């Protein structure tokens, strides 16, 4: 087991301390179930004494979660420890995690305690916790800024008192990889009973070094890492679980250790946590960001198309992302553009490809996002294949908090006008259903975005939709001061693109 790293997930405790990330008990339970699927070893479910809500969440998770250790945080106070035990008493495998600050700055300004008092309180608390549970973890808060001789003394004392894990936190993200690694080496060398406990680390990201410090600790003998999904946590956050795990997996040749994480559940877990906390994942976030497996530069795209490993050190499927994404933009090359055309069903002659590529580059210089339907539109226009068009003649909606939303829509196709009506979950849904009935084209609305283009009560609203019918996915866009009208026109624009593709001789 010396080469197996224990993954201690504190998303539900430290992660929830991120400003604005408060979770309900039900939401915590959903995440806890997903963390079990992910394969984390320990779930820190909360800080039971902090609030009734935290106590309830830890208690509920303890009762229902199987297959992972459930931990509750407590200060080195009798009331905290007893409260933590009450919350954890139904857990399959409970752990009480207690902490007490040890650094000079914390001793002098926060606790106002001498070193001897710190050790006495720590030992007393560990012994009390061991009366309740077999697993006790002790954290000397701000360990990275604690004098090494005193840190060594504290760690040896709490292990002697019964701590099964000693966690070394870089509480304020102050340390550096070389320095933090030396702390772990010192503990391994100087603490006489260190073989009786697991060395854990809990690194914060104030200087952007949380993952690097955690990996350095592992290289020097730590065998547990405390981390959060998406790197959530106080201030700049904690070490990112997905980054630590994938670094160990991709570079197993260097680190020489493994984890029990099912990496294919990483992306799903990341999205669940982001959705429930309301904290978005930055686009360029390692492993789970939207751009993590996206390529726009022409040289990169050409390399990826020839051999994936030229620019990808891991497969997107390994973390649960379906596939790599070749993003077409102003930096894209002809190879990627041609592959996109083939995926859309076009087979162009070399001359047609040259002309289309020039038009594409011109468009890409003007637009931040070039969608599939943009490409199809410019190719269709070049090939003189205007799409069959339904145009909006008239619409009327009725809606209210006690009224079933209903819409009547008239569409024109050539010289004919068609009318139909439908009910829906709201006025937009009702109008779109009426369009479906008239055109005979049905599908799934994958995305609906509304934004204000201008200010004021008469602001112009722009609607962008993503619509899938069969194997085709298209976008529609429209603007109006009436958001229902903009919605119907955007949806109709997407439907028109589907209708226009039903007979194209240049497409397979």
The DSSP line for 316-345 is GGGGT----EE--STT--HHHHHHHHHHTT
Asked if residue 505 has pLDDT above 60, the reply is no
Q: Which of 107-111, 195-199, 305-309 has the lowest mean pLDDT?
A: 305-309
What is the pLDDT confidence band of residue 348, given thresholds at 50, 70 and 90? confident
Give the residue extent of every domain in the chain.
Answer: 6-277, 294-382, 391-500
Q: Which of 17-21, 99-103, 343-347 has the lowest mean pLDDT?
A: 343-347
Strand order in the sheet with 461-469: 444-452, 461-469, 472-480
Residue with more model confidence, 475 or 315: 315
pLDDT digits (tens, 9 = 90+) for 205-224: 999 999 999 999 999 999 99
Nearest to 86 by CA among 78, 161, 159, 127: 78
Helix (H, G, I), strand (E, B), or coil: what is residue 302?
A: helix
Nearest to 39 by CA among 238, 263, 251, 250: 263
Asked if residue 292 has pLDDT above 90, the reply is no
Asked if residue 56 has pLDDT above 90, the reply is yes
Average pLDDT over residues 319-346: 80
| CA pair distance 214, 240, nearest whole angstrom | 10
CATH superfamily of the 391-500 domain: Alpha-isopropylmalate synthase LeuA, regulatory domain (3.30.160.270)
What is the pLDDT confidence band of residue 152, given thresholds at 50, 70 and 90? very high
Asked if residue 150 has pLDDT above 80, the reply is yes
Asked if residue 248 has pLDDT above 80, the reply is yes
Q: What is the CA radius of gyration of the chain?
A: 29
What is the pLDDT confidence band of residue 103, given thresholds at 50, 70 and 90? very high
Fold for domain 6-277?
Answer: TIM Barrel (3.20.20)
What are the CA-CA distances from residue 416 to residues 303, 439, 500 (Å)? Answer: 51, 12, 17
pLDDT above 70: percentage of residues in the chain: 93
pLDDT value for 380:
67
pLDDT digits (tens, 9 = 90+) for 436-483: 999 999 899 998 988 775 555 555 677 889 899 888 888 888 878 888
How does DSSP classify residue 277?
H
What is the pLDDT confidence band of residue 148, given thresholds at 50, 70 and 90? very high
- Do the beta carbons of residue 257 and residue 225 sit within 8 Å? no
Residue with more model confidence, 379 or 429: 429
Average pLDDT over residues 153-181: 98
H-helix segments, 65-134: 78-88, 104-106, 115-132
Q: What angle do CA 84, 236, 204 make, to 5 degrees?
A: 60
pLDDT value for 383:
64
Computed over every residue of the chain, the mean pLDDT equals 90
* Beta-bridge mates of residue 447: 466
Nearest to 388 by CA among 412, 356, 418, 421: 412
Asked if residue 231 has pLDDT above 60, the reply is yes
Strand 6-9 and strand 224-227: the pairing is parallel
- Do the beta carbons of residue 20 and residue 53 sit within 8 Å? no
| CA pair distance 433, 397, nearest whole angstrom | 12
Average pLDDT over residues 193-206: 98
DSSP symbols for 380-444: HHHTT-PPP--EEEEEEEEEETTEEEEEEEEEEETTEEEEEEEE-SSHHHHHHHHHHHHH----E
| CA pair distance 231, 290, nearest whole angstrom | 15
* Beta-bridge mates of residue 72: 46, 96
Asked if residue 506 has pLDDT above 60, the reply is no
pTM of the model: 0.74
H-helix segments, 220-349: 241-250, 252-255, 266-277, 298-306, 334-343
Asked if residue 507 has pLDDT above 60, the reply is no
- Sorted by sequence, the CB contacts under 8 Å of residue 353 that are 6+ apart come out as 334, 337, 338, 341
What is the pLDDT confidence band of residue 326, given thresholds at 50, 70 and 90? low
Strand 403-413 and strand 416-423: the pairing is antiparallel
Long-range contacts of 61-64 (CB under 8 A, 24+ apart): 61/12, 61/28, 61/29, 61/32, 62/87, 62/88, 62/89, 62/90, 62/91, 62/94, 63/90, 63/91, 64/29
pLDDT above 90: percentage of residues in the chain: 66
Burial class (CB in 10 A: 0-12, 13-18, 19+), 201: buried
Please report how many Cα atoms fall inside a 13 Å half-sphere around the Cα of residue 369, on the Cβ side. 6
Is it true that 6-277 and 391-500 share their CATH fold? Answer: no
Asked if residue 344 has pLDDT above 80, the reply is no
Asked if residue 501 has pLDDT above 70, the reply is no
């Amino acid at each position: 087991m010396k080469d197996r790293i224990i993954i201690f997930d504190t998303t539900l405790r430290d992660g929830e301390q991120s400003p604005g990330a408060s979770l309900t008990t039900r939401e915590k339970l959903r995440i806890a179930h997903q963390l079990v699927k992910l394969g984390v070893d320990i779930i820190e479910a909360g800080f039971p004494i902090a609030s009734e809500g935290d106590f309830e969440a830890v208690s509920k998770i303890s009762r229902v979660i199987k297959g992972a250790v459930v931990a509750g945080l407590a200060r080195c106070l009798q009331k905290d420890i007893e409260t933590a035990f009450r919350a954890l008493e139904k857990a399959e495998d409970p752990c009480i995690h207690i902490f007490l600050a040890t650094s000079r700055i914390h001793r002098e300004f926060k606790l106002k305690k001498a070193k001897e008092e710190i050790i006495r309180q720590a030992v007393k608390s560990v012994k009390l916790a061991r009366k309740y549970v077999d697993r006790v973890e002790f954290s000397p808060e701000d360990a990275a800024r604690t004098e090494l001789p005193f840190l060594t003394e504290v760690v040896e004392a709490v292990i002697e008192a019964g701590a099964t894990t000693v966690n070394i936190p870089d509480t304020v993200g102050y340390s550096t990889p070389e320095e933090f690694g030396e702390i772990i080496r010192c503990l391994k060398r100087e603490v006489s009973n260190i073989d009786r406990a697991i060395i854990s680390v809990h690194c914060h990201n104030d200087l952007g070094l949380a993952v690097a410090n955690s990996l350095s600790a592992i290289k020097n003998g730590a065998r547990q890492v405390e981390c959060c999904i998406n790197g959530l946590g106080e201030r700049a956050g904690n070490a990112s679980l997905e980054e630590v795990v994938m670094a160990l997996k991709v570079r197993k040749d260097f680190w020489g250790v493994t984890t029990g994480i099912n990496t294919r559940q990483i992306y799903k877990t990341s999205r669940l946590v982001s959705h429930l906390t309301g904290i978005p994942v930055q686009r360029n976030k390692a492993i789970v960001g939207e751009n993590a497996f996206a390529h726009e530069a022409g040289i990169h795209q050409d390399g990826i198309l020839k051999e994936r490993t030229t620019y990808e050190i891991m497969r997107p499927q390994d973390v649960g992302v379906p596939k790599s994404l070749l993003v077409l933009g102003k930096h894209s090359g002809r190879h990627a553009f041609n592959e996109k055309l083939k995926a859309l069903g076009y087979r162009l002659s070399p001359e047609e490809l040259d002309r289309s590529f020039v038009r594409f580059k011109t468009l890409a210089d003007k637009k931040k996002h070039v969608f599939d339907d943009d490409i199809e539109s410019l190719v269709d226009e070049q090939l003189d294949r205007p799409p069959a068009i339904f145009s909006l003649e008239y619409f009327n909606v009725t809606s209210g908090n006690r009224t079933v939303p209903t819409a009547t829509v008239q569409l024109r196709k050539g010289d004919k006008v068609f009318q139909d009506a439908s009910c829906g979950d709201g006025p937009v849904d009702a109008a779109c259903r009426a369009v479906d009935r008239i055109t005979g084209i049905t599908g799934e609305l994958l995305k609906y975005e509304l934004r204000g283009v201008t200010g004021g009560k008469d602001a112009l609203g722009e609607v962008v939709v993503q619509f899938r019918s069969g194997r085709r996915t298209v976008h529609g866009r429209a603007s109006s001061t009436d958001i229902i009208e903009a919605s119907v026109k955007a949806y109709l624009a997407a439907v028109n693109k589907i209708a226009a593709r039903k007979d194209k001789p240049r497409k397979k």
